[in-house]
Structure 1
């Protein structure tokens, strides 16, 4: 079954309107442009999931991954309004979070197109922490280079996800 972009557009619009939010308010809270929200609500077919979808999900009251679920014919997982309201100021205050990062990381985040992100649970390695991976490409990368970069990331991601499969998780942590 193909992805139903019109269904996703309607679900986003409905969720936004249920929360009495304008497209501008969603854009501001998600740190995306108003045209990004308009495009998501347009229902135009796409070849891939736009990264902006993950940014607006919490703003419209959806759990992470709900947009993909809707595209594939399912229903979004709704987050209680109290959780959404508590998260909204954090979404609007990205500058404070960025100022806490080392300058080297801020510079890396500013350079090149964002190719992908991943939040990985480190519980299998004996930790309650999370690892956040941001994959950035070269500023002037060709489509072919971006494809190669994404393939390299997919291979690295597979390796990262198998780190916790070892019988002794502390051995992996202590290797580094």
Structure 2
């Protein structure tokens, strides 16, 4: 069965408007770009339902299963936490945007690292989490691991180059 992405976009737009929200309100709530919200509402085709689409659906009051339902020609289910005794999806104690929290919940963690790529007088760090899909085959995991190892070498080289190019006068 072919999914109807245009219908999903129309339904999400109608739900947003019914709640009195503007596209910029969705940007604020979901922390995705305006272009992404516009693409979803325009019916851009995706290969899967992304965490971003689910975040937009939640922002207009739909359940997590509603995007699939709409794509399959059914009606969305509205969330009514008070009447159904349901609670919203758990939020992290970390100050991460909702779409990042959603991405971290899905799939399996394959690797992670913390890299210092900042100037000497800064304590900023880059934190990377490498994720794979649930149920990945051993071959897929090996491919991802190999790609990550190459990328990690490049990151470490960048970090080392930054450290070596600093002179005592830079401090």
Sort the TM-score into its range (normalised by shorter chain): 0.5 to 0.7
Among 95, 105, 123, the alignment partner of 1:117 is 105
| 8 Å contact kept, 1:13–1:41 | yes
Which structure is higher in helix share?
A: 1
Per the alignment, do residues 155 and 136 of structure 1 end up closer, same or farther by CA in structure 2, a change over 3 Å counting?
Answer: closer
Question: Within 5 Å, which residues of 2 pair with 1:1-176?
Answer: 1-80=1-80, 97-99=93-95, 114=103, 117-118=105-106, 135=109, 149-150=132-133, 153-155=134-136
How far the C-alpha of 1:4 sits from its partner, in A, is 0.2
Q: TM-score, normalised by structure 2?
A: 0.53
Gaps of 5+ in 2: 114-129, 138-171
Distance in 2 of aligned mates of 1:69 and 1:154: 23
Aligned to 2:77, what secondary structure does the other structure show?
coil
* 1:14-48 residue CA offsets vs partner (Å, 9 max, x unmatched): 00000010001011111212111111001122222
Distance in 2 of aligned mates of 1:10 and 1:134: 32
How far the C-alpha of 1:62 sits from its partner, in A, is 0.3
Match of 2:118 in 1: none
| 8 Å contact kept, 1:9–1:42 | yes
Aligned to 2:105, what secondary structure does the other structure show?
strand
Over alpha carbons, which structure has the higher Rg? 2
Distance in 1 of aligned mates of 2:82 and 2:29: 15
How far the C-alpha of 1:55 sits from its partner, in A, is 1.0
